[in-house]
Structure 1
Amino acid sequence: MDFFSRLVGGGTSGPARTKPKAAPSNDPQARLARFKRAFNLVLELCKKPRNPANERPLLEQLATAISRLSVLIREETRASIPHLCLQYAATSQIFTVIGRAAVVSQYEPVIHSAVVLFAALVDSEEEDFLSSASFAKSLMRLVTKVADSGNVLVSVDTETSILELLFTISAKIRLQPEILSVWFRSTARPELEDVFVKEKKSFVGITQKADFPLCYLLIDRVHHEGRIGDFARTGLLYIFEATGRSLDLEEWVVSSDLPTLMASGLGALYSQLSRELSILHPDSTLPAVLAMSDYSTTHPRATAESAFSDRHQAHMATFLSYLAFWQDVLDHCRSADVKQTLLDHFQILFLQQLLYPSLLQSSDTDAGSSVAVLTYMTCMLEALEYPDLLHIMLTYLLAISEGNQVAPSTPATPVRPSMPPRSPTALKRRQSLMLLTAPKDPEQAFEPALFNLTDLILNSVRSNGAQTVFSALKLASTMIQRQRKYAFGTLLKVRPGRTPTSRERTSLRLVESLAVNTEVAGSAIDAAKGPSRTVGALELEVERYRNLASALHSDTFPEEAYGSLCDDVRYCIEGQVQLMPTNDSGETDIGTYALSPGDPLMQALANLLRAFLTNSVDVNLALTQAVISIASCVALRLDTWLALEPSEYNFADAARAAGKPWEAFLEDDETAAWFALQQASRQPAWSADTAPLLHSILQSLVHELAHVRNTVPNLDQLLAGRQHMLQASPTPAQPVSEPPSLVSSPTQPSFLEAPLPKTAPQGSHTRSSSNTSSSLARGREAASTLTSPNQARQATSPSPSFIRPSDTTTTTIDNHSPATRSIFQPPPAETPSTTDVLMQKLTFPAIKGRDAEEAQEGGERTASLNHVLTNTVVLQQFVLELVAVLQVRAAVLGEREVRYG
Structure 2
Amino acid sequence: MDFWSRLLAHTPLSSASSRKDFAKDPARRLHRFEKEYSQLLQTWRNSSNLAHDEEAAEHIEIRLQELTSLLSDESRRPLPHPCISFAAAKQVYIPVAKIATSSFSEWIIKEAVLFFATLVESEEEAFVENDNFSASLTNLLVRITGANSIRLGADTEARVVELAFNITTKIRLDPDILPAWFKSQQNSPQEERQLGDHEKFTGRTQKQDFPLFYLLMDYIHHDGKVGDFARTGLLYIIEAASSSVPLEQWIVESDLSTLMATGLGALYSQLSRKLVIDHLPGELPPILAFSDYQHPKSNYEVTSSCSFEFQSHLDTFLSHLLFWQDVLNHCKSVEVKSTLLEHFQVIFLQQLLYPSLLESSDIDGGSSVAVLTYLRRILESVDHPDMINLILHYLLALPDIVASVPSNSGDVVSAARKRKSLDLATMMASKGEAAADPLLFNLVDLILACLRSQSQQTIYVTLQLVSVILKRHHRYAVITLLYTESVLGASSFRTTGAHQQEVEYIMSLAGTIGGQDNFDEIYDNVLKDTLVRLENHPCSIKLVTPKTSTNNHKLPAIPDSLPGAPRDVRSHTLHPDDPLLNIVLDQLQTFFLNPIETNLSLTEAIFDLAVCGFMHLEGWFLRSPHNYIYEETDEPPLPEPPLDPESPEYIEYKQTQSMQECRRRPKWTQSNLPRLLRLLQTLSDEVAAYREMIPRFDDLLQQRREAFQIADSAMPAPASRTKTPGFSQSPVKSGTPMIDRTVVDERRNPSRERPSGLEGFAQRILSELGTPSRSGSPRGRKELNRSSSDRSTPVSYDTPLRGPGGLTRSYSPVSVASVPSSWDGRGDAVSNQAKAFQAIDQSILARRVKLPVVKAPEGSAQVEPIPLRFDKQPPTDIATDGDETTSRSERAAGGDDGQSESVAQSEDGKTDASVEEKTVSVSHVLTNVIILQSFMFELASLVQVRAGLFDEVRFT
CA contact (8 A) 1:185 1:211 kept: yes
Q: Distance in 2 between matches of 1:192 and 1:362?
A: 47
Q: Does 1:899 align with 2:881?
A: no
CA-CA distance at 1:640 after TM superposition:
2.1
CA distance in 1, matches of 2:842, 2:670: 40
Alignment of 1:833-852 (within 5 A): 833-844=840-851, 849=906
Contact between 2:44 and 2:56, CA under 8 Å: does it hold in 1?
no
User: 1:367-446 residue pairs with structure 2 within 5 A?
Assistant: 367-403=365-401, 423-438=414-429, 445-446=435-436
User: Distance between the aligned counterparts of 1:341 and 1:22, measured in 2?
Assistant: 58
* Residue equivalent to 1:699: 681
CA drift of 1:91 comes to: 1.4
- Give CA-to-partner distance per residue, 1:101-154, whole Å, 9 cap, x none: 111111111111111110111111211111111111111111111112342122
- Residue 282 of structure 1, CA deviation: 2.8
844-853 vs 179-188, greater mean Cα deviation: 844-853
SS in 1 for 2:919: strand
How far apart are 1:671 and its partner, in Å?
Answer: 2.2
Unaligned runs of 5+ in 1: 1-19, 405-414, 501-529, 738-748, 763-810
Give the match for residue 498 of structure 1: 488
Alignment size in residue pairs? 780
Give the share of equivalent positions with the same residue, in percent: 37
Match for 2:482: what amino acid? L
Render the CA deviation track for 1:41-77: whole Å, top value 9, x for unaligned.
1111111133679611111110110111111111221
Find the residue that maps to 2:208 and give its secondary structure.
coil
Q: 1:600 aligns with which of 566, 579, 592?
A: 579
Aligned to 1:680: 662
Q: What is the TM-score normalised by the length of structure 1?
A: 0.80
Deviations 1:258-300 (A, max 9, x none): 1100111111111111111111223211111111111111327
Whether contact under 8 Å (2:662, 2:955) holds in the other structure is: yes
Q: Quick one: which of 578, 601, 605 aligns to 1:622?
A: 601
Alpha-carbon contact 1:281-1:308 (below 8 Å) kept = yes
> Secondary structure at 1:818's aligned position in 2?
coil
The match for 2:340 is 342
For residue 548 of structure 1, the aligned residue among 505, 509, 513 is: 509
In the TM superposition, what are the counterparts of 1:48-63 in structure 2 within 5 Å?
Answer: 48-50=46-48, 55-63=53-61
Q: 2:176 aligns with which of 178, 188, 206?
A: 178
Q: CA shift at 1:86, angstroms? A: 1.7
Q: Is 2:291 aligned against 1:293? A: yes
Match for residue 729 of structure 1? 711
The aligned counterpart of 2:477 is 487
Contact 1:610 1:847 (8 Å CA) reproduced: no
**CA contact under 8 A between 1:477 and 1:625: conserved in structure 2?**
yes
- The superposition leaves residues 400-451 of structure 1 with CA deviations (integer Å, 9 ceiling, x where unpaired) of 11339xxxxxxxxxx9998779812212211221221137667x64211111
SS in 2 for 1:401: coil
- Identify which of 915, 919, 941 aligns with 1:884: 941
Distance in structure 1 (CA, Å) of the matches to 2:104 and 2:796:
81
What TM-score, normalized by structure 2, do the two folds share? 0.76
Would the alpha carbon gap of residues 831 and 160 (structure 1) be closer, same or farther in structure 2, given more than 3 Å must change? closer
One-letter amino acid matched to 2:227: G
Q: Conserved in 2, the CA contact under 8 Å of 1:542 and 1:886?
A: yes
SS in 2 for 1:495: strand
* Counterpart for residue 241 of structure 2: 243
Residue 574 (1) aligns with residue 564 (2): no
Q: Residue in 1 aligned with 2:492?
A: 531
1:200/1:127 Cα in 2 relative to 1: closer, same or farther (>3 Å)?
A: closer
- How far apart, in 2, do the equivalents of 1:274 and 1:146 lie? 35
For 1:830 and 1:482, how far apart are their aligned partners in 2? 50
* Matched AA of 2:616: R
In the superposition, relative to structure 1, how do residues 202 and 629 fare at CA in structure 2: closer, same or farther (>3 Å)? same
Cα distance change, pair 701–555 in 1 and its aligned pair in 2 (3 A): farther
Aligned partner of 2:632 in structure 1 is 653
Q: Paired residue for 1:447, among 428, 431, 437?
A: 437
Instruction: Flag the 1:142–1:201 CA change in 2: closer, same or farther, 3 A.
Output: closer
C-alpha change, 1:22 and 1:842, in structure 2 (3 Å) is closer
Q: Deviations over 1:216-236 (max 9, x none)?
A: 000110111111111101100
Distance 1:751 1:290 in 2: 30
Instruction: Supply the distance in 2 between the matched residues of 1:190 and 1:621 (Cα, whole angstroms).
Output: 64
For residues 339-360 of structure 1, the C-alpha deviation after alignment (integer angstroms, 9 at most, x for no partner) is 1101111111111111111111
CA contact (8 A) 2:515 2:758 kept: no
Which residue matches 2:362?
A: 364
Look up the SS of the partner of 1:277 in the other structure.
strand
| Residue from 150, 153, 163 that aligns with 1:152 | 150
CA distance in 1, matches of 2:797, 2:684: 23
SS of aligned partner of 1:281: coil
Q: Structure 1: how far apart are the matches of 2:222 and 2:52?
A: 36
How far the C-alpha of 1:621 sits from its partner, in A, is 0.5
The CA deviation string for residues 800-838 of structure 1, in whole angstroms up to 9 with x for no partner, is xxxxxxxxxxx9626485263769748798996222111
Shift of 1:709: 1.9
CA distance in 2 between counterparts of 1:325 and 1:190 reads 34
Summarize deviations over 1:650-686 as a string: whole Å, max 9, x none. Answer: 1113798422699999733322322221111111111
Q: Is contact 2:275–2:302 with CA below 8 Å preserved after alignment?
A: yes
Inter-CA distance 53–539: structure 2 relative to 1 (3 Å threshold)? closer
- Post-superposition offset of 1:642: 1.4
CA deviation profile, 1:351-378 (whole Å, cap 9, x unmatched): 1111111111111011111111111111
Correspondence 1:252 to 2:309:
no
Any conservation in 2 of the 1:96–1:135 contact (CA below 8 Å)?
yes
Distance in 1 between the 2:170 and 2:570 partners?
Answer: 52
Cα RMSD over matched residues?
A: 3.5
The answer on 1:472 being equivalent to 2:434 is no
- Secondary structure (helix, strand or coil) at the match of 2:920 reads strand
Q: Which moved more, 1:244-253 or 1:832-841?
A: 832-841
Q: Which amino acid aligns with 1:652?
A: E
Q: CA 1:478 to 1:688, structure 2 compared with 1: closer, same or farther past 3 Å?
A: same
Partners of 2:356 and 2:371 within 8 A in 1? yes
Distance 1:851 1:842 in 2: 22
2:95 to 82, 97, 103: 97
Measured in 1, the distance between the counterparts of 2:910 and 2:811 equals: 47
Aligned match of 2:12: none
C-alpha distance 359-416 of structure 1, shift in aligned 2 (>3 A):
farther
| Paired amino acid for 2:577 | G
Give the distance between the partners of 1:61 and 1:435, measured in 2 at CA.
57
Q: 1:123 to 1:556 in 2, by over 3 A?
A: closer
- Local SS of the residue matching 1:423: helix
Alignment match, 2:327: 329
Relative to structure 1, is the Cα distance of residues 160 and 315 closer, same or farther in structure 2, using a 3 angstrom cutoff?
same
Q: Which amino acid aligns with 2:665?
A: Q
Q: CA deviation at 1:79?
A: 2.2
Give the counterpart of 2:919 among 862, 880, 889: 862
Task: Name the structure 1 match of 2:811.
Answer: 818
Deviation, 1:555, is: 9.2
Quick check: 1:711 aligned with 2:693? yes
Contact 2:129 2:177 in 1 (8 A): yes
Q: Are the equivalent residues in 2 in contact too, given 1:492–1:595 (CA < 8 A)? A: yes
- In 1, Cα distance between the equivalents of 2:109 and 2:20? 35
The answer (yes or no) to whether the contact 1:188–1:208 under 8 Å persists in 2 is no
Q: Is the 8 A contact 2:496 2:663 kept in 1?
A: yes
Unaligned runs of 5+ in 2: 1-17, 556-567, 723-743, 762-794, 801-809, 818-827, 854-902
- Structure 2 distance, partners of 1:637, 1:854, is 32
